[in-house]
Amino acid sequence: MVSLTKSFALISITFLSILLTGCNLLSKPAEVEPEKSIENNFSFEQIMAQVQNNEQEKYDDPTKFMPNKHHKTLASYVEQMALKITDNMQVSPENTAIAVTSFVDLDSSLNTASQLGNQLSETFMNQLQKFGYTAVDIKTADLITVSNQGDFAFTRDAHRLTNQDIASHVLSGTLIYRENGVVVNARVINIQNKRLAASSRIFIPFYVLNKEDIYLSSN
């Protein structure tokens, strides 16, 4: 009887040990395999450099830069040119009367004037006066013409223009059309000896001209 009791106790202890071992196995957290690292083909510096290059290319190509809203005007570009011309002028304002003519397309004839070319000449007259120079409007006729349509002081009829030497210099220039804008070359020339007194060059984007509805056709 005692032997049977000892055997039962031994079996109970063994079963309990197995049960506890099983519980320990169940309660032990499973080992998680480390995730495999993804190999990067490019470093962070290379990616950032590529992003900067893409942004720079967007602004380097002016055809991709067409702002819907901006504060640039044709007058501001002419003002920059006039400032450079007056800074480089080799004659004093007191002894200089400048006739301003239409800017022409740089072609074989040099006789093609567009709305832009005429608008440039009109704006230059205002800017020259602002910087202290006398601007001469050669389109002013000797006599005022009165008709049913109005009273006219301007003319393009050479026979009605004054024959007097009213200007010592002439300001004019050429237009070169590019894919995304117009290159404007302006210069002041001494009428008597044809010497260059001053010059300036600037690029005007098409989006500035489009904002002001300035057409590149003949006017």
Any domain includes 79:
yes
Of 72-81, 159-168, 169-178, 186-195, the poorest mean pLDDT is in 159-168
Q: Which domain holds residue 191?
A: 73-138+165-211
Per-residue pLDDT at 38 = 46
CATH number for position 175: 3.40.50.10610
Of residues 70 and 28, the one with the higher pLDDT is 70
CB 169 within 8 A of CB 191: yes
What's the whole-number mean pLDDT along residues 99-105?
A: 92
Query: Rounded to whole angstroms, how far apart are CA atoms 80 and 27?
Result: 82
**Spatial separation of the C-alpha atoms in residues 18 and 181, rounded to whole Å:** 89
Q: Is 103 among the domain residues?
A: yes
Cross-strand partners of 113:
104
pLDDT tens track for 21-56: 555 545 555 555 555 544 455 666 666 666 656 655
**Between these two residues, 198 and 8, which has the higher pLDDT value?**
198
Do the domain assignments include residue 16? Answer: no
Distance of CA 217 to the CA centre of its chain: 23
Q: Six-digit token pair at 149?
A: 């349509």
| Residue 124, in any domain of the structure | yes
With respect to residue 108, please indicate whether it lies within any of the assigned structural domains: yes
Place of tokens 């006066």: 129
- What's the CA gap between 82 and 211, in Å, rounded? 22
50 assigned to some structural domain:
no
172 vs 188: CA distance, rounded Å: 7
Q: Which pLDDT band, with edges at 50, 70 and 90, does 158 fall under?
A: low
Count up the domains in the chain and report the number.
Answer: 1
Is residue 151 one of the residues assigned to a domain?
Answer: no
pTM of the model: 0.63
- The mean-pLDDT minimum among 61-65, 71-75, 150-154, 188-192 falls in 61-65
Distance CA 102, CA 113 (A): 6
CB 133 within 8 A of CB 197: no
Give a yes or no: residue 111 inside a domain.
yes
